[in-house]
Amino acid sequence: MNCLNIGLPKTVNKNTILIITGEDSADLYGGNLAREIKKLSPDINISGVGGRQMRSAGVDIFCDVSDISVVGFWEVIEKLGLIRRLYKQIIEKLDSGNVKGVVLIDYPGFNLKIAKAAKERGIPVFYYISPQVWAWRKSRVKTIKKYVDKMMVILPFEKDFYKKEGVDVEFVGHPLLEVISPPSSPPLQGGGRGGKKEICQEFGIDDKQLIIGVLPGSRKREIDYMLPEILKASSLIKKKYPSVQFLLPLSQSIEKDYLKNFITSEYSYVNVVKGKNYDVMKVSDLLITKSGTSTLEAAIIGIPMIIIYKSSMISYCLAKALVNVIYAGLPNLLAGKEVAPELLQYKMNAKNIAEKATYFLEKKDRLEQMREELKNIKYSLGEHGASKRTAKIIINHIKNINSKTNY
């Protein structure tokens, strides 16, 4: 359902679990979790806020995540009316008496309010994929401790963080390990449909030449901020490496026509493919990627990267004042050092991007060193099966409550 059509409350089936997400990557994790819950307890109805992935897993979607997904502090103001209407609808579902548990996936500004409402109604609250409270707004830990029954984290250092705060927490491993098939040795071979040669043939590029993957983000606003400087940098890189090839995997939610204002005839050498992020990563020698989930995906696959980010000046200034971590990229946070270079806000310009790319491309041993360090980051994320472990925790908790109530 499109959130813009939110109106009268929908009926909620008995024995329902709500899953609430706020962005595309959370929709992917929510979909995998829903499948595992259904395997363990087929009689449970799952309803929630999500997208294509959750819908394909049999979740009754009453609001599409694309309608509420926002970037930055300032941009959320534009969606306030819609978000308030969604909150009211979820409260009506909680009041139905049929919701047996609420699973919250990231999206803390909204989800912590849902946690409070559910807890006040005696409904178990599970938080899967922690808000980055260790990076900013640590005060939210008190809210989590008060209203969340079980926190299930996907980054290894988060378990110790929450334990120190007295939160019931368990490290379940990272769900990305379930959806990414890492290439076999050597690093740029393997993959779901074949090796580098086969993927390059499909893309119409030469697998013997240098390839740079470009990931400017999955939202139009991110593309607006970052793609122009990336394209200018590509031109500078081309002057030094004329045969270098550029691949841009465009998000499924954005039409190719949107790029016409950016990729003019001057940049006709940039190959745009719809989706297929992982295939682009697997064949790339180097990535220029927006800070976010894509950096961790690249780390798991083992592809060297330059991490970039730029937002509105208001959002950037607010973030700078509130965030208390040294690095923006998850691989660097996990490693505790700058494995992949970061170019943020005013440093994210064509000259700097081109210089960093040239630094790595001119000597292969620099790329190899980063690949080795990325392997260690991947190993720190635990084993496959995060969704299954999380589903077991949720179902067992609900069953224990039901058995006590029945008794």
* Residue numbers of the domain that contains 357: 178-379
User: What pLDDT shows up at residue 20?
Assistant: 96
Can you say whether residue 190 is alpha, beta or left, with left for phi > 0 and alpha for psi between -120 and 50 degrees? Answer: left
pLDDT of residue 13: 66
- With CA atoms as reference, report the closest residue to 143 among 130, 156, 154, 153: 130
Token pair recorded at residue 284? 């790339």
DSSP code string of 327-383: -SSHHHHHHTS-SS-EEEGGG-SHHHHHHHHHHHHT-HHHHHHHHHHHHHHHHTT--
- The per-residue pLDDT string of the chain (407 residues; one tens digit each, 9 = 90 and over) reads 456 454 444 555 678 999 999 887 789 999 999 999 999 999 999 999 999 999 999 999 999 887 776 555 555 566 677 888 999 999 999 999 999 999 999 888 899 999 999 999 999 999 999 988 776 677 889 999 999 999 999 999 999 999 999 999 999 999 999 988 544 434 433 344 568 999 999 999 999 999 999 999 888 889 999 999 999 999 999 999 999 999 999 987 788 889 988 999 999 999 999 989 999 999 999 999 999 889 999 999 999 999 999 887 777 666 665 566 688 899 999 999 999 999 998 999 999 999 999 999 999 899 999 999 999 999 999 999 999 999 999 999 998 887 666 54
Query: Are residues 222 and 352 located together in one domain of the fold?
Result: yes
Q: Do 377 and 335 meet the contact criterion of CB atoms below 8 Å apart?
A: yes
- Could you say which DSSP state residue 275 is in? S
Asked if residue 318 and residue 394 are part of one domain, the reply reads no
CA 336 to chain CA mean position, Å: 20
- Can you give the pLDDT at residue 407? 43
- C-alpha 36/C-alpha 59 separation (Å) is 12
**Quick one: 246 and 123 in the same domain?**
no
pTM of the model: 0.82
Judgement on whether residues 74 and 196 belong to the same structural domain of the protein:
no
Task: Say yes or no: 322 and 395 in one domain.
Answer: no
Q: Are residues 191 and 213 in the same domain?
A: yes
Query: Chain centroid to CA 25: how far?
Result: 4
Within this chain, do residues 196 and 233 fall inside the same structural domain, yes or no?
Answer: yes
Same domain as 107, residue 184: no
The predicted structure's pLDDT at residue 214: 97
Cα-based distances in Å from 144 to 10, 76, 108, 163: 28, 22, 10, 12
Q: How far apart are CA 276 and CA 193, in angstroms?
A: 11
Q: Is 294 within 8 Å of 277 (Cβ atoms)? A: yes
Do 171 and 182 fall into the same domain? no
CATH number at residue 337: 3.40.50.2000
Distance CA(407)–CA(394), nearest Å, equals: 20
Q: Is 287 exposed, middle or buried (0-12, 13-18, 19+ CB in 10 A)?
A: buried
The alpha helices in 80-130, defined as continuous H runs, are: 80-94, 108-120
Kindly report the number of other CB atoms within 10 A of residue 337's CB atom. 11
CB-count burial class (<10 Å; 0-12, 13-18, 19+) for 100: buried
Q: How many angstroms separate the CA atoms of 173 and 360, rounded?
A: 31
Pair of tokens at residue 244:
């270098």
Residues 182 and 93 in one domain: no
- Identify whether residues 206 and 165 lie together within a single domain: no
Is the peptide bond preceding residue 186 cis, with omega within 30 degrees of 0?
Answer: yes
Same domain, 221 and 155: no
**Cα–Cα separations (whole angstroms), residue 192 to 167, 198, 282, 367:** 39, 11, 10, 24
Burial 372-388 (b: 16+ CB within 10 A, else e): ebbeebbeebbeebbbb
CA distances to 72, 339, 382 from 345, rounded to whole Å, are 13, 19, 32
Q: How many domains, in total, are found in the chain? A: 2
Q: Which of 212, 343, 309 is nearest to 267 (CA)?
A: 212
